[in-house]
Amino acid sequence: MKSIRRSLLVSILSGIVVSGLVCGGVLYQRMKGTLVSQFDSVLAAKVRALASMLDVDDGWLEFNYAADLMPEFEGGSDPEYFQISFADGRLLRKSATLGAAELPLCYGNVGAAELFDLVLPDGRAGRAIGVIAPVDLESDDDAPVTREEAAGERFDVHVVLVAARARAELDGALGALRDALWLAGTVLALLAGAVVLAGVRRGLRPLAALGQEVASIEAGSLSRRVSRRGLPLELDGMAAKLNELLARLEQAFQRERRVTGNIAHELRGPIAELRSARSKPRTPSRCTWAA
């Protein structure tokens, strides 16, 4: 037998769970985008700092790197990496943490840098940014650039800068965010279940009371009517129809009693005569036979 309470609980709780999953997924994606954007902005700031150290001195491209300002590129417990090369792949400079390894030559332009995940030389999961930027050089005496002869008085050298760092901090923040969302979702589901259960029980209480009141009405108490006081709007119409049905039943029972009474009255005389005739003693009859 189908239960209204069970149907309500299943439908409401299913709706809450689905809504919670959708909202949680949207919130996670939004927060993930914010965290990744903040992580990438740090990488972009490091690339800009490295680009500011590129300089041209007497026709030579120089990299004025100060190791004490960026100790993360020198080693430590959480080393980071950078690599500066020309667009044709020739290496200009790389961080001491790279050793003999090199970073992938993936890059975008200044307005849309390339951001990508990779495996760092030490085996950790990392994230990198690559950008190609033109460096304007001017020479008055045809001085060589990067030890190669350059033609013309003005030319552009495109330098590719790639910086990478471990994404353990980012992954830890995303994991903490997932755990927090799951915990909040579980607590919310339990609270919502308790509230929904109490609400459904309370909401169906008038229906149960109405059923008990109707069940207490018997053939001898058809004059009773279902009380409509305090009933919800959805049950008030049902109670009104039940009262109309009880009124029709009462009238039908009254007609039946009247008909039964009339029939009993009409039959009382003949039945009395039959009883009277049956109670009189009978005299035996004598018969004379002719000889």
Integer-rounded Cα radius of gyration of the chain: 49
pTM for the predicted model, two decimal places: 0.67
Distance from C-alpha of 6 to C-alpha of 167, rounded to nearest angstrom? 47
pLDDT at 50 over 70: yes
Distance CA 224, CA 214 (A): 10
pLDDT of residue 223: 76
The dihedral formed by the CA atoms of 237, 243, 245 and 249, expressed in degrees to the nearest 10: 180
pLDDT(40) > 60: yes
Predicted local distance difference test score (pLDDT) of residue 95: 92
Confidence of residue 286 (pLDDT cuts 50, 70, 90): low
Say if residues 104 and 38 touch (Cβ distance below 8 Å): no
Q: pLDDT at position 110, please?
A: 78
- pLDDT band of residue 285 (cuts 50, 70, 90) is low
Q: In whole angstroms, what is the distance from residue 27 CA to residue 33 CA?
A: 10
Q: Which residue in 103, 123, 131, 112 sits closest to 166, CA to CA?
A: 123
The domains of the chain are located at 1-52+174-216, 55-166, 218-274
Q: How far apart are CA 83 and CA 129, in angstroms?
A: 11
Q: What is the pLDDT of residue 153?
A: 38
User: To the nearest whole percent, how much of the chain has pLDDT over 90?
Assistant: 31
Hunting for tokens 């840098």 — which residue is that? 113
Per the model's pLDDT, the better-predicted residue between 227 and 291 turns out to be 227
Confidence of residue 284 (pLDDT cuts 50, 70, 90): low
Lowest mean pLDDT among 75-79, 188-192, 220-224, 259-263: 220-224
How many other CB atoms are found less than 10 A from the CB of residue 61? 18
- Give percent of the chain with pLDDT exceeding 70: 86
| pLDDT digit string, tens, across residues 189-219 | 889 889 988 888 888 888 888 888 788 877 7
Higher pLDDT, 120 or 279: 120
Going by C-alpha positions, the residue among 91, 73, 74 that lies closest to residue 82 is: 73
Condensed to tens digits (0 to 9), the pLDDT of residues 66-98 reads 888 889 998 888 899 999 998 888 898 999 999
The mean per-residue pLDDT over the stretch 131-154 comes to 51
Q: CA 19 to CA 129: how far, in whole Å? A: 37
**If you average pLDDT over every residue of the chain, what do you get?**
82
What are φ and ψ of residue 252, in 5° steps? Answer: -65, -40
58: closest CA among 153, 149, 138, 134?
Answer: 138
Better-scored residue on pLDDT, 34 or 283: 34
Q: What pLDDT shows up at residue 164?
A: 95
pLDDT at 150 > cutoff 50: no
pLDDT, position 86: 87
pLDDT at residue number 147: 37
Query: Which of 68-82, 170-184, 277-291 has the lowest average pLDDT?
Result: 277-291
- Give the per-residue pLDDT at 146: 44
Contact between 194 and 176 under an 8 Å Cβ cutoff? The reply is no
Task: Supply the pLDDT for residue 144.
Answer: 42
149 pLDDT above the threshold of 70: no
Crossing angle between the packed helical segments 168-215 and 4-52, to the nearest 10 degrees = 160
Q: What is the separation of C-alpha 35 from the centre of its chain, rounded to a whole number of angstroms?
A: 20
